[in-house]
Structure 1
Amino acid sequence: MHAIVGLGALTVLPAFAATPATLVSSASQRCLDVAQGNQQPGTAAIIFDCHGAANQKWEFSAAGELKTFDGARCLDVRGASTQPQAIVQSYTCNGGANQKWTLKADKTIVNAQSGLCLTVKGAATANSTGIDMWRCEGSAHQQWSVGATTPPPTDTQAPTPPSGLAISALACRSATLTWKASTDNVGIAYYDIYRDGQALGTVNASTLTAQLVLTPGANWGVYVNARDAAGNVSQASTSLQVKVPQCQVDTQPPSVPTGFRGTIAGTTATFAWSASTDNVAVTAYDIFRNNVVAGTTSTLGYTDTGLAANTTYQYTLAARDAQGNVSPRGTTLSLTSGSACADVICSTVQVATETDIPWGLAALPDGTVLYSRRDARDIILLNPVSGVKKTVGVIPNVQGTDGEGGLLGLAIPPGFPDTDSWLYVYHTSPTDNRIVRIRYLNGALDTASLEVLLKGIGRNKYHNGGRLRFGPDGKLYATTGDAQNGNYAQDTNNLAGKVLRLNPNGTPPADNPFGNYVWSYGHRNPQGLAFDSRGRLWEQEFGDSQDETNLIVKGGNYGWPNCEGVTSRSGSGCATAGYVAPKTTYRNSEGSCSGIAIVRDSLYVACLAGKRLYRSDISGDKLINARQFFVGTYDRLRTVEPAIDGNLWMANSDAAGDKDSVPNNTNTKIWKVTLKP
């Protein structure tokens, strides 16, 4: 029993004043909690089973505030109301009287502005019951005890995956999702709902249903993760494919595009046209080159790059709506390319087709390439001159995730394969993501030589990272996703949500900033890695609502999950001191970019949802002269790598089979892209 002492107008328990602790409702023995651990200002205060996480830790400030989230938020009476039943919430600390409190000897907590007491609504005791203000009666639902200030026992066991996902009341903009409960050694706290790696929302463990907001005509893979109070996240449920109906039947095509015009300079053609009309809406324009779709755009212009020299092409244009109705094609343009390259990209030649997803790619000194097949789990040697491919071996212990895990990044050291025959591989295993190396001898993998360099990297259906790159310092760099657990990204003792740096033998370099493998942190799902001529490391990262290109610095914190791109998600977000801002950001619809390459200090970024290749010049620590190429021309671009002759290799990842682990169910290609010297 603590002695109670007075501190001026404020009566507090000494230990509570000095150390964050829980506040336990006497009626229910549940804790004062900020709903779902959400740091967004205006999030309701509730009672919930005590677990001692940051959203249940409170401390009195010297000014009489009740602070949580390590001081980032204050307990607040919504709208500064002085009326009974006013809602209590977490909000940015502003020093107002509606954020000042007194802990009385009878265990009530009184608001300085209204004189009313902090009260559990309706004297209820159930999880997630809200908190409001009421006249002070000293009843059990107004009494709060200071809980233990010591942290609860460490819980490192993740819940089991949710199961039994089902959809009901499916409409064009909404549906009800249900699932069966997960189990946990301590208890489930939340369920997180996703579609194809993008967050849709979170619900408390007391409910096994969520209302989804849908996009008409979309085809989503919806899944659920369970999360416990300690922040352990389950592996994902099996994805439930949801084909969303359109809101109305539409069989009328758009009008024929007019004003179609174009010019050609060297090997680049540029087009413009006037808008078509439609009874609902025009969503895209398809540009046909010699009666084959060369690209797709939602704008009124298009650039066709990488044409063959001295060749005549026939171009036509059609408009398309959201339900696939296509207009007749309009005027045909005949354009002849020049004899010389007049742009930064000169030509593009397809060198191979694939039935699996080419993910990692390494250019060998003799002009051939090695690439990984994500779901087939093998490595292919490609001769781009003859087009001949052969399997050099299967990587053992690879397992997909029915999302984006599997056989991922490749890297070769300097001198490969003549003086150093190790091939470095990043892959998903049944239990984790890991980095291994294996000998490449006489054109084949020596599976008996395989060494596991680093294991224990968090895995999940999505957010596995996976790129590898040797730096000019001779070290191996790797990107790791947060395994759909944002807490991992900010923990420098955890390998997930990071850029890692290893010695080639798998040991951590002595000059790493945290005494382990971590080089930078605060990443969501980083993938692309490339070094510029100054030896600086650039990184490409998938975001939830926006992607980002980062210039990586030793020990840098890139903000996730508090900051995404330039958008604050919680706490002080992107304004947090020490966070490193991205060099550029992209909307998901125009990005979802994976691989990057740097050639002659120009950065090339391959994008999946955006179906395009970005190119920017590196000037100091900025990216300038940003341009877009191949918009819609080659479908979803995943991989871009420097060729040994100063050009590029590029591979795509079509939508078929991209979100499962089934081998050989895709239609993909590899191209050689010739750049202007």
Structure 2
Amino acid sequence: MGILGAAPAYAGESATLISADSQRCLDIARGSQEPRTPAIIFDCHGGANQQWEFTAAGELRTFDGARCLDIRGASTQPQAVVQSYPCHGGANQKWTLRPDRTIINPASGLCLTVKGGETANATGIDTWRCEATAHQQWIVGDTEPPPDDTEAPTPPSGLAISALTCRSATLKWEASTDNVGVAYYDIYRDGQALGTVNASTLTAQLALTAGASWGIYVNARDAAGNVSQASTSLQVQVPQCQADTQPPSVPTGLRGTVAGTTVTLNWTASTDNVAVTAYDIYRNSIAVGASGTLGYTDTGLSANTTYQYAVAARDAQGNVSPRSAAVSLTSGNACTDVICSTARVAQDTDIPWGLVALPNGTVLYSRRDAKDIIALNPATGAKKNLGVIPNVQGTDGEGGLLGLAIAPGFPASNPWLYIYHTSPTDNRIVRVRYVNGTLDMASLEVLLKGIGRNKYHNGGRLRFGPDGKLYATTGDAQNGAYAQDVNHLSGKVLRLNANGTPPPDNPFGNYVWSYGHRNPQGLAFDSLGRLWEQEFGDSQDETNLIVKGGNYGWPNCEGVISRSGTGCATTGYIAPKYTYRNTEASCSGIAVVRNSLYVACLLGKRLYRSEISGDRLVNVRQFFVGTYDRLRTVEPTIDGNLWMTNSDAAGDKDSIPNNTDTAIYKVTLKP
């Protein structure tokens, strides 16, 4: 029997339909012919309720033709229940089995899906966006399953934009090639998903945001789920919907209060012919932050010091009002808040990514695009370049030289510096000896390779735990199927012995410690030895408390947002401890100091602080909103405070070395 179409030549024949993921059969529950009985998967037994016939009319009939596979309520929305029902020829009873073995309902454009990607008997069936994942693929009973296909398509090329307006545009590209055949193209902007189209088209209609600057790219995907490396990004500057040259009115009523070394400002709203979008805050005539509300908190000031503050209003097209009348405020003589002061210790022209504080006070940090390691003396600001790490390659996105870690007992009993980086073929973990203040490049060892890479979603944090094991975060390489495969290294938190071997007590007999992650980065242990993790989402970021063998839901569940099947209600999925909107977060690094969790955020340009209470995060506060640009990394200092690094927008999404203006700060905390 061949691959079925809408009107197969052998209409009238019947066969089982086997889920490629579970090897269980499409079944009508309990063998009942009652209308509205749900479809499920069940162990294959060949009964009449597991025999299916594709008719010339495009129906899927069972019970010797007495019932049709039907979408309840003729719904065209995702997650609609699939059931048996008397045949009536409606659009909700039409199905096509495609070459990639998905079964699509043409009216809705959605595919027959095993709920939540589950594999247990009696798991229900619904409809979902066609992604050609294993729980959407069906094998006709007497056909051979397709041969294993592990070869990814080539990257798409030739991206071009036409019909560009402030709200929409047409994107076109040139086809990828594949050893079997491309099935889908996935469209992204700066790591965020915009949509998916079938391989039969090489164009997509984009919904845009007026005034935005986007890097748009495309990945190709085959029926086996192999994802190509990304195309080259196409930079698109979206025009505004209307010309606007009129600035907002001057803010009025600026006033402030002082509590120790913290100043709180408030003011009266400005007006604008279109809309005020933000307020820029000036301290001593220097811009120190921005606010989308009518208030701002300036933290970490010097004690007993007088500051002059002013505020200016800004609209969406960059028109800025004159500054308000200034207000003079004098800080107190002691720190009364949780953050006491912030000092810039060093500047850089590349992106500081990983950072470790050595026992002697030296700070080592990686420069992502320059691919080298810097030793910093915080007392003097003096820097020493320890050399370029070999075989590092950027991805024109988020890849390059990433996380660093040192083991307990460094350097006496374990003189190794552990490094996570992107190579030309994968992401990997290596180590190199740190001897007398230098790196012995001849000693470099590759501990683990084969971690999926792509333009975005590379993960990259390293952290040694109190158990002496090395923990690492890995992104899903923009292939969500990897995240749910416990035999794949991508979309995981990994756990390694210090020598790179997998510990025998890992839950799956390999390196995987937890799974179901999209793009995890931050890692930190609390005073009880528990592991906290920070993860980038597509529209919602999350902080997780990691447990051995835990499944955190991606790609079916993102934070608390259901995306596929039973989504976040799926049995066994572990919910995050806190979620954030991307615009206020996109957080990369975390640190725990005195049982408080600090989270550094890029797009949100802020530092979150939460108190750890049991297994909850409470008293969540925000600091430095807009003050230090995009915050990437926080690490504990050896004296109980924080190191913090930033990353400006200039070179954040490319692999060009030394094209940024960044800094390393020491944040002094209240004892």
Alignment match, 1:311 = 305
Alignment match, 2:181 = 187
Write the distance in 2 (CA, Å) between the matches of 1:590 and 1:506.
37
Moved more, 464-473 or 436-445: 436-445
1:578-597 equivalences under 5 Å are 578-597=572-591
User: By how many angstroms is 1:294 displaced?
Assistant: 1.1
Any idea what the Cα deviations from partners look like across 1:259-306, whole Å, max 9, x if unmatched? 211011111000111211111110000010000011101011110000
1:213-228 equivalences under 5 Å are 213-228=207-222
Q: Is the 8 A contact 1:435 1:452 kept in 2?
A: yes
Change (3 A) 1:119 1:200: closer
Alignment match, 1:264 = 258
The residue type equivalent to 2:317 in the other structure is Q
Write the distance in 1 (CA, Å) between the matches of 2:343 and 2:42.
56
Q: Is the 8 A contact 2:139 2:145 kept in 1?
A: no
Q: Is the 8 A contact 1:263 1:269 kept in 2?
A: yes
Alignment match, 2:125 = none
1:449-460 equivalences under 5 Å are 449-460=443-454
User: By how many angstroms is 1:29 displaced?
Assistant: 9.1
Moved more, 473-482 or 147-156: 147-156
Alignment match, 2:149 = 155
Which of the numbers 89, 93, 96 marks the counterpart of 2:81?
93
1:97-246 equivalences under 5 Å are 99-101=83-85, 111-112=86-87, 118-119=93-94, 131=106, 146-148=140-142, 150-246=144-240
User: By how many angstroms is 1:63 displaced?
Assistant: 3.6
In structure 1, the residue corresponding to 2:579 is in which secondary structure? strand
The residue type equivalent to 1:626 in the other structure is V
Moved more, 267-276 or 512-521: 267-276
Q: Is 2:436 the partner of 1:435?
A: no
Change (3 A) 1:114 1:213: closer
Write the distance in 1 (CA, Å) between the matches of 2:191 and 2:171.
17
Q: Is 2:624 the partner of 1:630?
A: yes
In structure 2, the residue corresponding to 1:404 is in which secondary structure? coil
Alignment match, 2:241 = 247
Q: Is the 8 A contact 1:51 1:229 kept in 2?
A: no
Write the distance in 2 (CA, Å) between the matches of 1:565 and 1:115.
37
Any idea what the Cα deviations from partners look like across 1:353-395, whole Å, max 9, x if unmatched? 0000000000011111000000000000001111100101211
Write the distance in 2 (CA, Å) between the matches of 1:287 and 1:115.
61
Write the distance in 2 (CA, Å) between the matches of 1:152 and 1:676.
62
Which of the numbers 60, 80, 98 marks the counterpart of 2:27?
60
Moved more, 604-613 or 144-153: 144-153
Q: Is the 8 A contact 2:352 2:647 kept in 1?
A: yes
Write the distance in 1 (CA, Å) between the matches of 2:346 and 2:70.
64
Q: Is the 8 A contact 2:71 2:93 kept in 1?
A: no
Q: Is the 8 A contact 1:354 1:667 kept in 2?
A: yes
Any idea what the Cα deviations from partners look like across 1:151-181, whole Å, max 9, x if unmatched? 3211000000000000000100100000000
The residue type equivalent to 2:555 in the other structure is P
Q: Is the 8 A contact 2:71 2:81 kept in 1?
A: no
Q: Is the 8 A contact 2:152 2:178 kept in 1?
A: yes
1:395-410 equivalences under 5 Å are 395-410=389-404
Alignment match, 1:652 = 646
Alignment match, 1:522 = 516
Q: Is the 8 A contact 1:120 1:132 kept in 2?
A: no
Which of the numbers 73, 76, 80 marks the counterpart of 1:80?
73
- For structure 1, which runs of at least 5 residues remain unmatched after alignment? 2-20, 31-49, 82-86, 102-110, 122-126, 134-143
Change (3 A) 1:323 1:56: farther
Any idea what the Cα deviations from partners look like across 1:49-76, whole Å, max 9, x if unmatched? x9986699971223456847899xx996
Write the distance in 2 (CA, Å) between the matches of 1:500 and 1:331.
54
Change (3 A) 1:496 1:403: same
User: By how many angstroms is 1:510 displaced?
Assistant: 0.6
Q: Is 2:555 the partner of 1:567?
A: no
Which of the numbers 287, 292, 300 marks the counterpart of 2:281?
287
Alignment match, 1:15 = none
Which of the numbers 408, 412, 417 marks the counterpart of 1:414?
408
Any idea what the Cα deviations from partners look like across 1:121-161, whole Å, max 9, x if unmatched? 9xxxxx9996469xxxxxxxxxx995546532110000000
Alignment match, 1:337 = 331
Change (3 A) 1:418 1:130: closer
Write the distance in 1 (CA, Å) between the matches of 2:254 and 2:566.
49
Change (3 A) 1:478 1:91: closer
Q: Is the 8 A contact 1:118 1:132 kept in 2?
A: no
Alignment match, 1:602 = 596
Which of the numbers 536, 546, 549 marks the counterpart of 2:540?
546
The number of residues matched between the two structures is: 604
User: By how many angstroms is 1:92 displaced?
Assistant: 3.5
Write the distance in 1 (CA, Å) between the matches of 2:431 and 2:599.
27
User: By how many angstroms is 1:415 displaced?
Assistant: 2.1
Change (3 A) 1:70 1:406: farther
Change (3 A) 1:541 1:91: closer
In structure 2, the residue corresponding to 1:100 is in which secondary structure? strand
Write the distance in 1 (CA, Å) between the matches of 2:432 and 2:252.
58
Change (3 A) 1:146 1:352: closer
User: By how many angstroms is 1:419 displaced?
Assistant: 3.1
Change (3 A) 1:584 1:132: closer
Alignment match, 2:14 = none
Alignment match, 1:124 = none
Which of the numbers 540, 550, 573 marks the counterpart of 1:556?
550
In structure 2, the residue corresponding to 1:488 is in which secondary structure? helix
Change (3 A) 1:120 1:306: closer
Write the distance in 1 (CA, Å) between the matches of 2:602 and 2:90.
57
Alignment match, 1:393 = 387
In structure 2, the residue corresponding to 1:80 is in which secondary structure? helix
TM-score (norm 1): 0.85
Alignment match, 1:361 = 355
Any idea what the Cα deviations from partners look like across 1:490-525, whole Å, max 9, x if unmatched? 000000000000000000001000000000000000
Q: Is the 8 A contact 2:523 2:590 kept in 1?
A: yes
Q: Is the 8 A contact 1:23 1:145 kept in 2?
A: no
User: By how many angstroms is 1:93 displaced?
Assistant: 3.0
Which of the numbers 493, 498, 505 marks the counterpart of 2:499?
505
Any idea what the Cα deviations from partners look like across 1:572-600, whole Å, max 9, x if unmatched? 00000100000000000000000000000
In structure 1, the residue corresponding to 2:278 is in which secondary structure? strand
TM-score (norm 2): 0.86
Write the distance in 2 (CA, Å) between the matches of 1:63 and 1:473.
54
Q: Is the 8 A contact 1:76 1:91 kept in 2?
A: no
* 4+ residue segments displaced more than 6 Å: 54-58, 68-71, 87-90, 113-117
Q: Is the 8 A contact 1:58 1:66 kept in 2?
A: no
Alignment match, 1:13 = none
The residue type equivalent to 1:397 in the other structure is N
Q: Is the 8 A contact 1:58 1:67 kept in 2?
A: no
Change (3 A) 1:177 1:675: same
Write the distance in 2 (CA, Å) between the matches of 1:290 and 1:665.
28
